[in-house]
A and B are shown apart, each in its own frame.
Chain A
Amino acid sequence: MTELQEARDIRTEGLHVATRHPVPKGEPILELRALQKKYGAVEALKPASLTFLSGEIHAIVGENGAGKSTLIKLLTGVIKRTSGEIFWCGKPVQLDTPHEAIERGINAVHQEVVLCAHLTVAANMFLGDEINRNGLMRKRAMTDAAQRVLDDLGFNLPAAAVLGSLTIGQQQLVATARAAMRGTQFLIFDEPTAYLTRQESAQLFRLIRRLQAEGVTIVYISHRMEEVFELADRVSVLRDGTHVGTRKIGETNEAELIALMINRTIEQIYHKEHFPPGEVIVETRDLSGPGFQDVSLTVHAGEIVGLYGLIGAGRSEFALGLYGRHRPSAGEVYWQGRKVDIASERVAMDLGIALAPESRRDQGLCLNLPIGLNINLPVFSRLTRGFTINGQQERENADRQIRDLKIKTPSRRVLASAMSGGNQQKIVIGKWLSHGAKLFIFDEPTVGVDVGTKAEIYRLFARLLENGAGIILISSYLPEVYELADRLHVFRRGRLVASHDYRAASHEEVLTQAIGV
């Protein structure tokens, strides 16, 4: 018996187990008929009909705002459908509460981690399903059980740690472990690898295959085509809330899927232009701070400096240090040749540094405020005439970013929280493009962004470089830094351990250095 099953058995002591309706492999397990969802006037999902077969890995792809997450939220009872029918094992079901979905064995790892940051990893994994004896929680038993599951899954995470102390990627793994141990029949992953490193992704894929072997049906949403082709049996495409087709993976190819997704073709995603390196914009010498030590690097005008490493390797911390969020404890920063002390974010911004942070939810966006306000937040002092804001400039600036980045919204007045994940990411980027800077630090800029927009963002990078800016690009997605960075630095445990020129090292070499074997 695997540890995973054992953990489930611990749970079964007097607790509910997902009711099992054995559907033979290959038979429909979940069927959607004309399922529709409207948010006010916005039709997020147009009547869609889709069938999921028992035991398959079914990928769903589509542009930002195509309705993928909406579909998932409908299946897991997070939101209520406007119309349409859902059949589970051949019987019509309501699925309008998360509880009902879980009872039936439908679980999801959502795009944005929805767990309690103040509780421990173990408490989160057992949330709503705690192990009790005589009404008292068995904390030790839960921590032990959770740790066994995590170890068994190969996730190197402490069950007793407070969730909030982990990186977003690690939290995502906790959410995955949580879903995997709940007696699941049907498990949905909404962009699970967005914040994961390659190694962590590999662990996740092994888990997914194992669950499939145990008979679980998997739905897998991703913007990364290679993952879709690696994992899926079938793939469905959504465009603008419409289901435009389902293909067997062996009978399609990347070009066809992209064409279905965006209704046009893109010849090249990684758009790389080389500019002659200009003056030195910033140079750090042995910079140390919370989470990083002795980092020395240089950024020239017209170049992209890539920082690659595993999550938690100190890249974001270095960026925050350079940006004045956490004051460095040792080392020097030279800005255009002059020694500077970046004591606060404001100092950094005034020098000409812009930081698009890693976590759009926690650091990037004011979610319950309008898109327009979010975009303009860094530039309000510039939009102010006398004491008041120039309303026309404010509107124009917001609308320009919405247009340039193709943020899918009816108006700048819509709240940022009503945007799909990828569109939220575009707001974060738009904010800093409108501010402008000499040095742009983009921390995971394309997380959750669809292929078409990715290509556009990379083109934008080239435009920034052309205008004499320099870019620090932090990414956990190796192809991105590999294809774009003029100079690639590898971070491991808070230190800069290796540096390569454009395409000078192989993928394997860079990976090995990041992992440190």
Chain B
Amino acid sequence: MSAETVESGASAAPRKGVSILFGLTLLGLLLFLWLLLGFATNSFWTPNNISNLLRQGAMTAILAVGQTFVIITAGIDLSVGAVVGFTSVIVAWLLAAGVPLWAAILLTLAFGVLIGAFHAFGIVRMGLPPFIITLATLTSLRGIGLLITNGSTISITNEAFTNFSRADFLGVPSLFWMVIVVAIPAYVFLHLSRFGRYLFAVGSNSEAARLSGVNVHRTIYLAYILSSTCAAFVGLLLASRIGIGNATQAEGWELQAIASSVIGGTSLFGAVGSVHGPLLGAFILATINNGANLLNVNSFWQRIITGVLIIVIVYFDQLRRRSAR
């Protein structure tokens, strides 16, 4: 069952529950940060700030889950930030053109599928390294988005759409619910279905996977399509949140997503990763940004702290894995 890949995915030790331990450590770190900020500031535990934090973290979290699928296959998707900006333009443009909301949403997600399929095509058929093909779409998608909007932004007038991101459901921001809507199927997919196992196998040794009858090409298509579709979904959420379509939005989010994933225990060498890890990683990053704002820490420092944190967490994860050796 899930334990099979969750644990072993992340550990060389034959003992049980090591990565559960890692997950708990991350959770502990998150709670610790929350407690700390609760003491250090007056405004952290206000409903307003918490909602804000959950909204901020939600988008990175969804990107990080998609990114994790790709990284598990030993690939990388640098384009997700650009896809977010691009799809925010697409949905704004479709709505402005009078396309009904449901159709605009589906079409935007379809763009995500297409972009992912293009990445996989480049990797599988043209033999391009994932880094290169996704780097190429990173710059070109921003370019196409800017061409469509002529360098400016498209505002969104559809109230139903823009209200969504502000709404709460059961007292929790709807954006955070979207994380759950993505995370549960993602968990089932990665840890309970055979396709998840295939992602790990391809990331570990694609030749062995292939000789075992795994359709390696299809698995790679799947990973990149999922990543881009998650990004397109985040594009929708972002457009709803800021009420405009703008191709330059979400600058650098790909790095946030990769960082969240890595903090969450995903190995850039492939074959190691989970769904809960990147989620926790994303919210840890969001908390640090949020806390730094509240504490009036210079935003330049935020970047430095994030960098240090990545090194520290990944280093401890490495230590833990090596100690089993």
Are A418 and B14 touching (Cβ within 8 A)?
A: yes
Q: With contacts defined as CB atoms under 8 Å apart, how many contacts are there between chain A and chain B in the complex? A: 118
B76 within 8 A of A: no
A39-70 vs B, CB cutoff 8 Å, 1 = contact: the mask equals 11110000000000000000000000000000
Residues of A within 8 A of B289 (CB): none
Q: Knowing A363-B211, A367-B204, say if A40 contacts B194 (CB, 8 Å).
A: no
Residues of A within 8 A of B16 (CB): 411, 413
Distance between Cα atoms of A384 and B192 in the complex (Å)? 9
B197 within 8 A of A: yes
Question: Interface range on chain A: under 10, 10 to 19, 20 to 34, or 35 or more?
Answer: 35 or more
Cβ of A391 to closest chain B Cβ, rounded Å: 3
Are B213 and A378 touching (Cβ within 8 A)?
A: yes
Are A345 and B207 touching (Cβ within 8 A)?
A: no
Are B197 and A380 touching (Cβ within 8 A)?
A: yes
Are B325 and A39 touching (Cβ within 8 A)?
A: yes
Residues of B within 8 A of A105 (CB): none
Distance between Cα atoms of A404 and B210 in the complex (Å)? 25
CB neighbors of A among B1-20 (8 A): 1-5, 7-9, 11-16
B258 within 8 A of A: no
CB neighbors of A among B67-95 (8 A): none
B253 within 8 A of A: no
A113 within 8 A of B: no
A417 within 8 A of B: yes
B198 within 8 A of A: yes
Closest partner residue, chain A, to B13 (CB atom): A40
Closest partner residue, chain B, to A346 (CB atom): B213
Are A370 and B4 touching (Cβ within 8 A)?
A: yes
Q: Knowing A41-B14, A367-B204, A373-B8, say if A389 contacts B211 (CB, 8 Å).
A: no
Are A373 and B192 touching (Cβ within 8 A)?
A: no
Residues of B within 8 A of A161 (CB): none
Are B208 and A366 touching (Cβ within 8 A)?
A: yes
* Cross-chain contact of A377 among B1, B13, B214, B215 (Cβ < 8 A): B214
Distance between Cα atoms of A42 and B324 in the complex (Å)? 10
Are B207 and A363 touching (Cβ within 8 A)?
A: yes
Are B213 and A431 touching (Cβ within 8 A)?
A: no
Q: Secondary structure at chain B's binding surface: helix, strand, loop or mixed? A: helix
Residues of B within 8 A of A346 (CB): 213, 215
Are A366 and B271 touching (Cβ within 8 A)?
A: yes
Closest partner residue, chain B, to A361 (CB atom): B205
A403-416 vs B, CB cutoff 8 Å, 1 = contact: the mask equals 00000011111110
Are A373 and B1 touching (Cβ within 8 A)?
A: no
Are A42 and B272 touching (Cβ within 8 A)?
A: no
Residues of B within 8 A of A415 (CB): 8, 11-12
Closest partner residue, chain A, to B196 (CB atom): A389
* Cross-chain contact of A40 among B210, B272, B324 (Cβ < 8 A): B324
Are A413 and B8 touching (Cβ within 8 A)?
A: yes
Residues of B within 8 A of A39 (CB): 324-325
B209 within 8 A of A: yes
Most A CB contacts (10 A, CB to CB) among B2, B4, B198, B201 go to: B4
A198 within 8 A of B: no
CB neighbors of B among A354-406 (8 A): 355, 357, 362-370, 372-373, 376-378, 380-381, 383-384, 387-389, 391, 394-395
A339-359 vs B, CB cutoff 8 Å, 1 = contact: the mask equals 000000110010000010100
Across the A-B interface, give the 8 residue pairs with the lowest CB-CB distance, nearest first.
A391-B1, A366-B204, A380-B194, A370-B8, A388-B192, A377-B212, A414-B14, A349-B213
Sampled A-B contacts (12; CB under 8 Å)? A40-B324, A345-B212, A345-B213, A349-B213, A364-B208, A366-B205, A366-B271, A369-B8, A373-B201, A409-B14, A413-B3, A417-B12
* Chain B interfacial positions (CB closer than 8 Å to A): 1-5, 7-9, 11-16, 188, 192-194, 197-198, 200-201, 204-205, 207-215, 271-272, 323-325
* Chain A interfacial positions (CB closer than 8 Å to B): 39-42, 79, 323, 325, 345-346, 349, 355, 357, 362-370, 372-373, 376-378, 380-381, 383-384, 387-389, 391, 394-395, 409-415, 417-418, 431
Having A367-B204, A373-B197, A409-B14, one finds 18 other A-B pairs with CB under 8 Å, namely A323-B211, A345-B212, A357-B211, A363-B207, A366-B204, A366-B271, A369-B271, A370-B4, A370-B5, A373-B201, A377-B213, A380-B198, A383-B194, A384-B193, A388-B188, A389-B192, A389-B193, A395-B4
